[in-house]
């Protein structure tokens, strides 16, 4: 399911930041951006909007008063530089309250709350193998697969993957120069990746051992990322590592 969303913020840089974040989340579809709540009023009343990223301090009509005037408001995530309105905002049943400057991880947590608050969206049957993570293929010993992200399907070469991070119903595939977010599961991807190089080290992480820089205790370092090795995955991980060692 795609969530149709709009941004209402009088700061151009804030709108630009949120636009970039929305483009990275495959279940969000940005409809329009507005510099004021008054400009957005017609759109709210004339078409279906599932989510609003709403600033508070704006000229003429602030975000709180705008929300109070909506008879049937969609999900609301406030995006503001002012912490003092938080209690008032949550009394209006908003999904979340993001303080500027907003980092992507905090943004992604907020939009996942939208899904949790909509049970019908959680149960929406989205076939992972047909629309999100497609079958793995191998040509000339090069494994690859296709995955849906950012409203398009992209090809991912297995050897490029540094590690994969699980986030509830989504995964973040960390590549050397970008991170892809897609609606699928770690278990599904692990089944499709070559077991000679990919292993689960934690309930939230799959790694490509070809990219390991070092192992110290229960910490695995890949580039600048320090990933945890859980006790339950330790034995299988070291068995795989042992098969690659040359020092006996």
Which residue spans of the chain are classified as CATH 2.40.50.1020? 128-242
Q: For residue 146, count other CB atoms closer than 10 A to its CB.
A: 15
Query: Is there a contact between 161 and 223 (Cβ–Cβ < 8 Å)?
Result: no
Q: The domain 3-122: what is its CATH number?
A: 3.40.50.2300
pLDDT tens sequence for the chain (248 residues): 789 999 999 999 999 999 999 999 989 999 999 999 999 998 898 899 999 999 999 999 999 999 999 989 999 999 999 988 998 998 898 999 999 989 998 999 999 988 877 644 333 433 333 334 444 554 434 688 888 877 778 888 999 999 999 987 789 999 998 999 888 889 888 888 988 899 999 999 999 999 999 999 999 999 999 999 999 999 999 988 888 766 65
Which residue spans of the chain are classified as CATH 3.40.50.2300? 3-122
b or e along 149-173 (b: 16 or more beta carbons within 10 Å of the residue's beta carbon)? Answer: beeeeeebebeebbbbbbeeebbbb
Report the top-level CATH class of 128-242: mainly beta
| Full-model pTM | 0.51
């Amino acid at each position: 399911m795609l969530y149709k969303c709009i941004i209402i913020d009088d700061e151009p840089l804030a709108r630009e930041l949120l636009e970039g974040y929305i483009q990275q989340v495959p279940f969000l579809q940005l409809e329009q951006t507005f510099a004021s709540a008054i400009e957005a009023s017609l759109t709210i009343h004339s078409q279906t909007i599932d989510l609003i990223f709403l600033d508070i301090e704006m000229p003429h009509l602030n975000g709180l008063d705008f929300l109070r005037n909506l008879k049937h408001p969609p999900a609301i995530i406030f995006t503001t530089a002012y912490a003092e309105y938080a209690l008032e905002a949550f009394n209006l049943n908003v999904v979340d309250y993001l303080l500027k400057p907003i980092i992507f991880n905090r943004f992604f947590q907020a939009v996942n709350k939208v899904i949790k608050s909509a049970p019908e969206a959680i149960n929406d049957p989205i076939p992972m193998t047909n629309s999100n993570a497609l079958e793995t293929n191998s040509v000339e010993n090069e494994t690859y697969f296709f995955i849906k992200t950012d409203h398009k399907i992209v090809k991912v070469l297995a050897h490029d993957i540094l590690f994969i991070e699980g986030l509830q119903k989504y995964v973040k595939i960390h590549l050397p120069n970008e991170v892809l977010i897609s609606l699928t599961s770690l278990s599904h991807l692990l089944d499709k990746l070559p077991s000679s190089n990919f292993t689960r080290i934690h309930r939230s992480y799959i790694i490509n051992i070809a990219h390991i820089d070092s192992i110290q205790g229960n910490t695995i370092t890949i580039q600048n990322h320090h990933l945890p090795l859980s006790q339950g995955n330790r034995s299988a991980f070291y068995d795989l590592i042992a098969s690659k060692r040359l020092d006996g």
